[in-house]
């Protein structure tokens, strides 16, 4: 059965609209873009549109492709120090002459709405409160919507990137799943996937990487990847038309996980806003206590 991610997106959008009604001033999301990649332009347009629908304000900082790391660091520092800005993210990919990991780690963790700083990933691994990556959050939301109890389930994750595979592993572990992580060096992929009660694939390397004979009957398939086939049409890792007949649920591509990832960014922006207000309140209370001691 096809998972209707569009319907789930609509539901989550309404939830966020309700949540923001309790906030006095709108959260502000700062977007850093480098270069003029068409795909990035589309993604940013979609994110700004979603933010506007919810009531989140956005600020776009667009740099030429030849921008230096130092210039970007200075901009990030300004945004870190701006108390009006609640969330910061860098639209990926960025040009190769820039150190992606280094620049992401320049973002204040409490404003890191992509959840990709070393600090926030460390919080995730250690089970501490923090901001977690958007795509893995979307995967968990889909499984929750399907009322899927992950306790003891055999889950296979294909891909080990810090964007999806690595954080998803830890989110699933928190749900007490039994997890295999497969990657480009895995020798017999089918031996793993055929056992999976839940298969999450984020390889993004080739069309029909996952075929009907590789999946367990009645399983749940979450296809995170978005690639283009030989006819320039969007597709995922899974041979959707043949696999859909064998499994309980499968997400389509396009119109699947990507529908929810943008909303997870908005949810993280609101969470960042709330965390910052909490820190401010805590700091104020500490100052009051110190004053009383004097």
Q: List residues forming the annotated binding site for NADP(+).
A: 159-161, 226
| Positions marked active-site | 47, 91, 114
Q: How many CB atoms lie within 10 A of CB 197?
A: 18
SS (H, E, C) 71-106: HHHHHHHHHHHCCCCCEEEECCCCCCCCCHHHHHCC
How deeply is 141 buried, as exposed, middle or buried, from its count of CB atoms within 10 A (0-12, 13-18, 19+)? buried
Q: Are 5 and 142 in contact (CB under 8 A)?
A: yes
Rounded Cα gap, residues 52 and 62, in angstroms: 19
- Angle among Cα 222, 224, 227 to the nearest 5 degrees reads 130
Q: Are 60 and 75 in contact (CB under 8 A)?
A: no
Q: Which residues contact 113 (CB under 8 A, 6 or more apart)?
A: 29, 87, 88, 89, 131, 134, 265, 268, 269, 272
Structure-block tokens of residue 150: 């992950």
Closest CA to 180 of 155, 215, 148: 155
């Amino acid at each position: 059965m096809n998972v209707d991610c569009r319907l789930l997106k609509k539901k989550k959008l309404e939830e966020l609209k309700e949540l923001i009604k309790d906030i006095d001033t709108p959260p502000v999301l700062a977007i850093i873009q480098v270069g003029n990649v068409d795909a990035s332009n589309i993604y940013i347009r979609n994110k700004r549109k979603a933010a506007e629908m919810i009531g989140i304000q956005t600020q776009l900082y667009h740099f030429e492709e030849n921008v230096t790391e130092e210039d970007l660091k200075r901009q990030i520092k300004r945004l870190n120090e701006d108390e009006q800005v609640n969330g910061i993210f860098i639209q990926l990919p960025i040009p190769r002459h820039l150190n992606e990991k280094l620049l992401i780690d320049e973002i204040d963790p409490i404003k890191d709405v992509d959840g990709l700083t070393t600090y926030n990933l460390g919080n995730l691994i250690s089970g501490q409160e923090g901001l977690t990556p958007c795509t893995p959050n979307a995967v968990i939301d889909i499984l929750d919507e399907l009322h899927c109890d992950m306790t003891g389930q055999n889950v296979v994750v294909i891909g080990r990137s810090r964007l999806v595979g690595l954080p998803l592993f830890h989110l699933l572990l928190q749900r007490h799943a039994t997890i295999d992580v497969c990657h480009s060096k895995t020798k017999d992929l089918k031996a793993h996937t055929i056992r999976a009660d839940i298969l999450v694939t984020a390889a993004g390397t080739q069309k029909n990487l996952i075929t009907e004979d590789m999946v367990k009957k009645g399983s749940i398939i979450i296809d995170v990847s978005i690639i283009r086939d030989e006819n320039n049409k969007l597709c995922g890792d899974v041979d959707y038309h043949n696999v859909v007949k064998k499994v309980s649920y499968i997400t389509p591509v396009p119109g699947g996980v990507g529908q929810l990832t943008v909303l997870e960014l908005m949810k993280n922006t609101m969470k960042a806003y709330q965390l910052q207000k909490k820190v401010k309140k805590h700091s104020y209370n500490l100052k009051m206590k110190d004053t009383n001691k004097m």
